[in-house]
Amino acid sequence: MRLRTAVLPLVALVVLSPAAGAGEESNVKSTSELVAIRDAALADDYAYQQVAHLTDNIGPRPSGSPQAEAAVEYVASELRRLGLEVRLEEVRVRRWMRGIDTAELREYPGQAPGTTQKIVVTALGGNTATPANGITAEVVVARNFAELQAMGREKVAGKIVAFDFPFDKRKAANGLSGEAYGEAVEYRATGAKIAAEMGAVACVVRSVGGADYRLPHTGWSAPTGIPAGAVTSEDADLLARLSVQGRVKMHLTLTSENGPEVLSHNVIGDLKGSEHPEQIVIVSGHLDSWDLGTGAIDDAAGVAVAMETAQLIQESHLHPRRTIRVIAWMDEENGGRGHDAYAVAHASEIGNHVAAIESDLGASHPLGFWAKVTPEALPLLKPAQEVLQSFGANLISRVEFSPGADIAPLAQAGVPALGIMQDGRTYFNYHHSAADTVDKIVPQELRENAAAMAVMGYALANLERPLPR
């Protein structure tokens, strides 16, 4: 997940439940089919098996890596086994390879003679490496951009800038994890750029995440020409306390390497519609991940529930009116070239895209969907809401932004776009960290996510008329 997917601004939302406007005529061919899909999903472990294989057997899947391409081949072969028409669409991606990530304090107030203090750090994706033997410089700590600017260039030049902007755990605990992430991720995304403009030799940021287990969180950062990393929240606190007491010098080694562009792929699998095969409903997640963990909640889970949509429909011997297109996107984490390539390749048929659904906020209990749709579209979603109400996944919150990074080009072109609204209260504890592993997924909650995507995807594919734009 990158910045665009997680910033969920406080806008006027229209939240509907099936009770609103009950009795309106359904445009779905058969509600009983939606019930059958829901019940099959809630009793099935197909999605969990796919997540386990992608994470345990293949492992982390950074864009351009051998593991990413192994995952492409696996998902493609599995969709072919399910009977879909499958193709691989080319995506040119940046290959970024992690090297050595270390940091230690070489000088600080109260230091015992002959000692140093370890700082837990991880490199941020795509940034410049330090020399092989690292760099040593004084640290200046700023709580935010304004505080750094107030220091002036003379106090920043030649230093390592440490941004100490906290992830707001209280917001996250109250269901506003996206807002908390959006506030803090600015420092990861552009902090090094601003520090470099003021003459800094490197930049570290407080990890953007909610867990305090001395666990660093990586992620994308705008290329700047200086090394950039993330330190744990505990170490950010340490730097802040020591810097108030006196001079602090850090030795930083980040030897990641930016390799050449390489060829990768989006995986496209079409379950052809029986009446309007040219009209498309997308169900999707992104296949690439960061390298510290194994990318279970971000976002093997999203890919797996999209795959299960096809699996459930096929095993139930159902025939959607429109084509349901399963997409495993590539490069969401480090540039979004997968969705850009898709938008270019399919520009002439954007008008035939009836809707696009994405899952990219983990695998916790789904509450419903964020939906970038017109007000007139909302009544047409009610049959799916009614079916999903049995396990509380029936909310529809109408938003003005794309509810997913990979479907953003489609949403901007006017395609109705929906994102599964997962319970994100603990998502950022594990996001982009070594703790993003399959054990963080509760199987029953993953089944609920599969049910939500499959029911909504099939409902949209079977409307008597497409959603209005």
Q: List, for residues 404-461, the tens digit of each pLDDT value.
A: 999 999 999 999 999 999 999 999 999 999 999 999 999 999 999 999 999 999 999 9
Respond yes or no: is residue 186 known to be catalytic. no
The answer to whether residue 22 scores a pLDDT higher than 70 is: no
Integer CA distances (angstroms), 323 to 80, 247, 420, in order: 15, 63, 20
DSSP three-state, residue 300: helix
The conformation of residue 321, written as its DSSP 8-state character, comes to S
Q: What is the pLDDT of residues 104-135, one digit of tens each?
A: 999 999 999 999 999 999 999 988 999 999 99
Residue-wise DSSP of 62-126: -TTSHHHHHHHHHHHHHHHHTT-EEEEEEEEEEEEE---EEEEEEE-TTPPTT--EEE-EEEPBT
The answer to whether residue 216 scores a pLDDT higher than 60 is: yes
Q: Give the whole-number percent of the chain exceeding pLDDT 70.
A: 94
Contact (Cβ atoms closer than 8 angstroms) between residue 252 and residue 141? no
Q: Which residues of 177-202 are buried (b: 16+ CB within 10 A; e: fewer)?
A: bbbbbbbbbbbbbebbbbbbebebbb
pLDDT computed for residue 286 by the predictor: 98
Q: Give the whole-number percent of the chain exceeding pLDDT 90.
A: 92
> How does residue 326 score in pLDDT terms, banded at 50, 70 and 90?
very high
* Range name among 3-12, 215-224, 240-249, 423-432 with the lowest pLDDT average: 3-12
C-alpha to C-alpha distance for 366 and 363, rounded to whole angstroms:
8
Residue spans in the chain of domains classed CATH 3.50.30.30:
99-255
Of 256, 316, 254, 257, whose CA–CA distance to 458 is shortest?
A: 316
> How does residue 212 score in pLDDT terms, banded at 50, 70 and 90?
confident
> How does residue 136 score in pLDDT terms, banded at 50, 70 and 90?
very high
The conformation of residue 55, written as its DSSP 8-state character, comes to I
The conformation of residue 277, written as its DSSP 8-state character, comes to E
> How does residue 10 score in pLDDT terms, banded at 50, 70 and 90?
very low
Contact (Cβ atoms closer than 8 angstroms) between residue 3 and residue 371? no
99-255 has CATH 3.50.30.30 classification: yes
pLDDT computed for residue 76 by the predictor: 98
pLDDT computed for residue 126 by the predictor: 84
Q: What is the pLDDT of residues 234-287, one digit of tens each?
A: 999 999 999 999 999 999 999 999 889 999 999 999 999 999 999 999 999 999
Residue of 78, 186, 332, 358 marked active site: 332
The answer to whether residue 70 scores a pLDDT higher than 80 is: yes
Measured in degrees and rounded to the nearest 5, phi and psi for residue 368 equal: 150, -140
Residue with tokens 């052809």: 272
- Could you tell me how far CA 110 lies from the centroid of its own chain? 42
Task: Report the predicted TM-score, pTM, of the whole model to 2 decimal places.
Answer: 0.94
C-alpha to C-alpha distance for 133 and 260, rounded to whole angstroms:
24
pLDDT computed for residue 2 by the predictor: 57
DSSP three-state, residue 430: helix
Residue spans in the chain of domains classed CATH 3.40.630.10:
3-96+260-461
Compute the average pLDDT of residues 39-45: 97
The CATH superfamily of 3-96+260-461 is Zn peptidases (3.40.630.10)
Element (H or E) spanning 228, and its range?
Answer: strand 228-231
pLDDT computed for residue 383 by the predictor: 96
Q: Mean pLDDT score of the chain, rounded to an integer?
A: 94
pLDDT computed for residue 6 by the predictor: 42
C-alpha to C-alpha distance for 175 and 342, rounded to whole angstroms:
32
